[in-house]
Chains A and B, each alone.
Chain A
Amino acid sequence: MKARVHVSLKNGVLDPQGKAIGHALHGLGFKDVADVRQGKLIELELTGALASKPKAEIEAAVKEMAQKLLANTVIENFSVELVG
């Protein structure tokens, strides 16, 4: 069982790195890119008792991990996806 945690900046939080990537894409001729936001993807390989629990419980546990460490909810949103 694998969990993917997608972390992205909240709306309204400026993303200087996304902006720089946007500039670079424009420089390469991709003029139709309006805005770029950079986030991150964290993959967790789950094992032990947790991996064999119902999906809802796994999702709750991974959400707790995201809230406590993987994302900073002051500036970031996250979503959890279970795979396999």
Chain B
Amino acid sequence: MKAAIITFPGSNRERDMRMALTRVNNGKAPLDVWHGDSDLPQGLDLIVLPGGFSYGDYLRVGAMAANSPIMRAVKARADAGTRVLAVCNGFQIACEAGLLPGALMTNAGLQFICKEVNLRIETTQSEFTQKYRKGQTIRVPVAHHDGNYTLDADSVKQLEDEDRIAFRYADGLGNVAPETNLNGSVSNIAGIYNAKKTVLGLMPHPENATDPVCGGTDGLGLFESIAESLS
């Protein structure tokens, strides 16, 4: 699998992402691409938009990064079918860039939330989650201030009908309820796919749950799924 991580000014999880990808890719590290570049390396199987606070969250979260030179190339590759994993700030950037529907707004409680949460795997019919079981609960960290996923009701229904909701905020038993809604996201949504299921965006950080000595390994399944699909 040939992967590349895009680093923006203010990205801060690109190294964690690199470790997670290297772990599942036979020790082969992903390539680094800078936001100011206008071209991507040839033959990429996966592009990653990592977490952080690109451009200081100026204007709206992800808005400035979505208009940086490299994103034109990312959009072209995504349209051509290259897989994209967009985590946290990456999810915000992907929404702003139009790769995914909806928008991420300020958390309903107005607080920055940094803790471990339970996610229910909503579908395993994807190259990103095939190693999990449908309905399985995994524990991964979140760290965000703007993770309140917002989308109109008709479009949420469409996501449901097309099996494009990847993860929902749940309790430890996999129950999804208003009380388990972390940040006000519509329908407890923590992650979604584009129509072709080639782009996954999510607020939690699976890359920070891939090492048994630090944060557990519940996020590893996602990276193993990707490596298996794209290798």
Tell me the chain B residues, 113-136 only, with Cβ under 8 Å from chain A.
none
B151 contact set on A, CB distance < 8 A: 74
Our pick among B101, B148, B152 for the contact of A16 (Cβ within 8 Å) is B148
In the complex, whether B96 has a CB less than 8 A from a CB of chain A is yes
Binary interface encoding of chain A residues 46-84 relative to chain B, with 1 for a CB under 8 A from any of its CBs, else 0? 000000000000000000000011101011000000000
Question: Contact residue range for chain A?
Answer: 10 to 19
B103, A16: Cβ atoms closer than 8 Å: no
**Among the interface residues B59, B101, B109, which one has the most CB atoms of the partner chain A within 10 A?**
B59
Interface residues in B, total, Cβ within 8 A: 20
B98 to A, closest residue via Cβ: A74
A20 within 8 A of B: yes
Asked if B60 contacts A72 (CB within 8 A), the reply is yes
How far, in Å, is A37 (CB) from chain B's closest CB?
13
Instruction: Find B59's partner among A13, A14, A69, A74 (CB 8 Å cutoff).
Output: A69
What is B's interface to A at a CB cutoff of 8 Å?
Answer: 59-60, 63, 67, 95-96, 101-103, 105-110, 148, 150-152, 184
Q: Can you list 29 contacts pairing A with B, beta carbon distance less than 8 Å?
A: A12-B152, A13-B105, A13-B150, A14-B108, A14-B148, A14-B150, A14-B184, A16-B105, A16-B106, A16-B107, A16-B109, A16-B110, A16-B148, A17-B106, A17-B110, A20-B110, A68-B67, A69-B59, A69-B63, A69-B67, A72-B60, A72-B63, A72-B96, A72-B103, A74-B95, A74-B102, A74-B103, A74-B150, A74-B151
